[in-house]
């Protein structure tokens, strides 16, 4: 792993990105179709690192979602209604553009395995180089590493019980 690759997975804050007096704001983007216990684990473990985490539900018209955008937003708002450090928003377009519009310096991502890392690494490096947005990766807890929204959707689509995988 090169020095540049190590930088992209570092939890260190760039001194030129975030001063000691500014709020540390992270965007946790995803479709959250649905939000899973794995997502909740990443969010809860990231809370000590940031002043604010914005759970950003991306709107992708080309993707067929199982739950509506409004249902997903409402469910997440209810889940975190007692936590003032968490905000929920929807957005269209590039995640980095949304980050800038919110004053966020970081993109928060959860990693379940090396495949997730390989995928996220390239995006993180591009976001840093092109947009000046750092990515912070948190490795999923072992008990949630197998959970994905697609698995939950597949179970739901086939009439199975997915209640142990979602909040």
Tokens of 152: 């939950």
Q: Which residues are catalytic?
A: 39, 63, 112, 149
C-alpha 163/C-alpha 6 separation (Å) is 37
SS (H, E, C) the chain: CCHHHHHHHCCCCCCCCCCCCCCCEEEEEECCCCCCHHHHHHHHHHHHHCCEEEEEEECCCCCCCCCCHHHHHHHHHHHCCCCCCEEEEEECCCHHHHHHHHCCCEEEEEECCHHHHHHHHHHHHHHHHHHCCEEEEEECCHHHCCCCHHHHHHHHHCCCCCCCCCC
């Amino acid at each position: 792993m090169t020095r540049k690759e190590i930088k992209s997975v570092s939890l260190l804050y760039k001194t030129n990105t975030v001063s000691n007096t500014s709020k540390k704001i992270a965007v946790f983007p995803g479709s959250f179709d649905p939000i899973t216990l794995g997502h909740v684990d990443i969010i809860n473990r990231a809370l000590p690192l940031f002043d604010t985490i914005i759970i950003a539900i991306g709107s992708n018209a080309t993707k067929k979602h199982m739950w509506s955008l409004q249902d997903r937003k409402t469910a997440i708002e209810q889940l975190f209604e007692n936590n003032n450090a968490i905000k929920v928003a929807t957005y269209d377009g590039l995640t980095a553009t949304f980050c800038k519009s919110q004053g966020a310096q970081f993109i928060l991502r959860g990693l379940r395995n090396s495949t997730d890392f390989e995928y996220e690494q390239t995006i993180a490096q591009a976001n840093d180089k092109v947009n000046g947005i750092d990515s912070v990766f948190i490795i999923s807890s072992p008990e949630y590493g197998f959970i994905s929204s697609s698995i939950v959707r597949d179970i739901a689509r086939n009439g199975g019980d997915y209640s142990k995988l979602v909040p």
